[in-house]
Structure 1
Amino acid sequence: MKSELTSIELCAGAGGQALGLHLAGFKHRLLIEIENYACNTLRMNNKLHALGWEEIIEGDLLEFAKSDLSNYSNIDLVAGGVPCPPFSKAGKQLGQDDERDLFPTALKIIKKTSPKAIMLENVPGLLESKFDDYRKKIDDELRSMGYLTTWQLINAKDFGVPQLRPRVILVGLRKNIFPYFSWPDSYLEAPTVGEALYDLIASDGWVHAEQWREKANRIAPTLVGGSKKHGGPDLGPTRAKKQWQELHINGHRLGDNPPDKFFAGVKEGFDNMPLLTVRMAARIQGFPDWWEFYGRKTPAYRQVGNALPPPVAKAVGEQIKNAIISASANSE
């Protein structure tokens, strides 16, 4: 058994899944991401925190899949978050007919690299009955490559992340490893928004911060990163904004700083409520405070909102790692 487990990350974004897998014990040999801001975030954190990520490619996954990947033929894990719009209820749910569907591209990369394990995440819509045949097609193709698969709906709130964020995760493992895998148990209660953000909300001396903490007494709705095609940063559609307002947060835009000492009291009406900063949103997403985001407020928030919470990736990654190690130990 190798002394460390290695991985490559597809559609890495701002590194939520990559960071979680790093914390689970995987060393990233390669991360690929098409967005410049997100790539700069990955490069910056890799350097600042000496993560040891070997290569970060800013490029198109379609082109990457066409290249010679023989250097990664001994990889343990291929992971990634392929684009979710083809399956999202917020879109037209065109699935395989959507040009943004990169599941087939991910499968090409898996076939070329033959990893021990696969971890791909997406939106809950992928589990709807209209996509039964599509999921079966993916399962069948992976089975033809020697993998057994399992799909699971996981909610970030069950892993200490203070928001509703259901995500579908596909895990595939070589047939000799699959029997040793089990999905992680829910093991950490999520704090309320008030508990999670109190120190940040109070950091500029807001005199009503404690009163606000008592009113922000639930977990948050799902953060929405959105698209470059749609305006500036806010906290989602009308329904989500109303849920944020119930937590005494103005969800209509993002703030640059926490509320100051003389900010309005905790009153009705969103104009009297504090704004989330990017750092606050990142904490709600489960990022550690030391993780930096490249760019100004709008691109930084989009990176946060589109991420897989690191604690979720860590929990699943640990189970994959344990399965790989257990299978290796029992084959010796």
Structure 2
Amino acid sequence: MNTIEMCAGAGGQALGLHNAGFEHLALIEIDAHACATLRHNNQHLKLGWGEIIEGDLHEFAHIRAHDFHKQVDLLAGGVPCPPFSKAGKKLGPDDERDLFPAALKIVQAIQPRAVLLENVAGLMEEKFASYRQSIRDTLHSMGYCTDWKLLNASDFGVPQLRPRFILVAMQENIWPHFSWPKALQENPKSVGDVLFDLISANGWEGAEAWKAQANDIAPTLVGGSKKHGGPDLGPARAKAAWQKLGINGHRVADENEIPQRNFRGVVMRDGKIKDGFANMPLLSVRMAARIQGFPDCWHFIGTKTHAYRQVGNAFPPPVAQAVGLQIMAALQAFDRQYR
């Protein structure tokens, strides 16, 4: 089964679908650093992915999409979240970053057997009800059955809540074979369990005590906006949630800031440790990637800011894999029955 991946980012969804057994014909992404990440991992991990197209989704819809007409099993993507995010102005279809219309044009041009689109939970709000229905109506007019569902990453082994609103659409004759993935029975590992080896790598004496404090899953990681400074772990409420887990969320660590043996907290410019943040390490890009469910072999290209944005904006690979396996099963069941 093959795919085309829209708004591929650093490859979270693409990796999950790859692990579910799909082969990528092409991946489209406008950010140069994310494209470099995709190319690097494709080459060094020998993934065998197809063309990585660095460009705008509107341009692909008008120029390239017809080249793949009726050659694609699954068209997948995570269109930009800011139009529907709680952290934004929630302009929805009035936001110039809304790429649902471009994605639907690509569906029309390619006519894949199945479609997978993911976005933030904010898209579930009542104010977007008519917009969600318009997306479904457009897909129905093309011959697809559709369903929206909220999935929490923590239900699939990812150590953070990260609710994502997922749309799956399939051609009408395939749709009866589809069912949503079921949550895993076991609870996800805590932040302490997942990050302990990285936090303690330099022999930090307080690592065991920190692990005991970090005994829950993480709040939702955020990638941040290009309009707002360097990387951190989100707004005040998110930073407070990280603080409960013993993480200083005010910025992202450089690789040389992994706690040393006598670490007592991050020293500020005045030479002091900020009140309330004693014995609280920063999160590095690699640590954030683990919390998103990326394997350690997956490398992110660019500066710390560019790399962290790629991580924070990603769709966790284990969730994409779970949904991908269900889509794969539906396509295979149909093929066995009718071909």
* TM-score of the aligned structures, taking structure 1 as reference length: 0.96
Q: State the alpha-carbon separation in 2 of the partners of residues 279 and 181 from structure 1.
A: 35
Aligned pair 1:284/2:291, yes or no? yes
- Tell me the secondary structure at the aligned position of residue 150 of structure 1: strand
Q: 1:265 to 1:30 in 2, by over 3 A?
A: closer
State the partner residue of 2:264.
264
Any conservation in 2 of the 1:278–1:297 contact (CA below 8 Å)? yes
1:70 to 63, 66, 71: 66
The 5 Å alignment of 1:141-152 reads: 141-152=138-149
Contact (CA 8 Å) 2:264, 2:278: kept in 1 or not? no
Structure 1: 5+ residue stretches without partners = none
Q: Which residue is 1:324 aligned to?
A: 331
Determine the C-alpha separation between the residues in 2 that align with 1:177 and 1:84: 29
Q: CA deviation at 1:249?
A: 0.6
Partner of 2:46: 50
CA distance in 1, matches of 2:83, 2:211: 38
SS state at 2:146 partner: strand
Please tell me whether the aligned partners of residues 197 and 280 of structure 1 are also in contact (alpha carbons under 8 angstroms). yes
Measure the CA separation in 2 of the matches of 1:23 and 1:29.
15
Give the letter for the 2:192 counterpart.
G
Q: Which amino acid aligns with 2:117?
A: L
User: How far apart are residue 94 of structure 1 and its match?
Assistant: 1.2
Q: Is the 8 A contact 1:116 1:174 kept in 2?
A: yes
Moved over 3 A (4+): 265-268
Q: State how far apart, in whole Å, the 2-side matches of 1:14 and 1:283 are.
A: 14
Judged with a 3 Å threshold, the aligned counterparts in structure 2 of structure 1 residues 275 and 265 are, in CA distance, closer, same or farther, namely closer
Residue number in structure 1 paired with 2:9: 13
Q: 1:166 aligns with which of 143, 163, 170?
A: 163
2:98 counterpart of 1:101: yes
Distance (whole Å) between structure 1 residues aligned to residue 63 and residue 166 of structure 2: 26
Q: Deviations over 1:132-184 (max 9, x none)?
A: 11111111110111100000000001111111100000000011111111110
The aligned counterpart of 1:302 is 309
- Is the CA contact (8 Å cut-off) linking 2:254 and 2:284 kept in structure 1? yes
Per the TM alignment, residue 263 of structure 1 is displaced from its structure 2 partner at its CA by: 0.5
Distance 2:68 2:318 in 1: 26
> Which residues of structure 2 form unaligned runs of 5+?
267-272
Structure 1 CA distance for aligned equivalents of residues 324 and 47 of structure 2: 17
Measured on the aligned residues, the alpha-carbon RMSD in Å equals 1.4
Contact kept, 8 Å, 1:193 with 1:220, in 2: the verdict is: yes
Q: Percent identity?
A: 63
Partners of 1:250 and 1:271 within 8 A in 2? no
Question: What letter matches 1:322 in structure 2?
Answer: A
CA–CA distance in structure 2, aligned partners of residues 67 and 270 of structure 1:
52
2:47 and 2:227 mapped to 1: Cα distance? 32
**How many Å separate the matches in 2 of 1:248 and 1:323?**
43
State the Cα distance separating 1:271 from its structure 2 match.
Answer: 5.0
Does the residue aligned with 1:170 lie in a helix, a strand or coil?
A: strand
Q: Is 1:250 equivalent to 2:248 in the alignment? A: yes
Contact 2:265 2:278 (8 Å CA) reproduced: no
Alignment of 1:30-45 (within 5 A): 30-45=26-41
Q: How many residues align?
A: 328
Q: 1:60 aligns with which of 56, 80, 95?
A: 56
**Structure 2 CA distance for aligned equivalents of residues 205 and 321 of structure 1:** 45
Give, in whole Å, the separation in 2 of the partners of 1:127 and 1:300: 29
2:21 maps to which residue?
Answer: 25
Q: 2:214 aligns with which of 207, 213, 216?
A: 216
- Find the aligned partners of 1:244 and 1:176 in 2 and give their Cα distance: 46
The aligned counterpart of 1:129 is 126
The CA distance in 1 between the partners of 2:89 and 2:254, in whole Å, is 34
> Residues 17 and 308 of structure 1 are in contact (CA less than 8 Å); yes or no, is this contact kept in structure 2?
yes
| Inter-partner Cα distance in structure 2 for 1:105 and 1:79 | 13
- Return the TM-score normalized by structure 2: 0.94
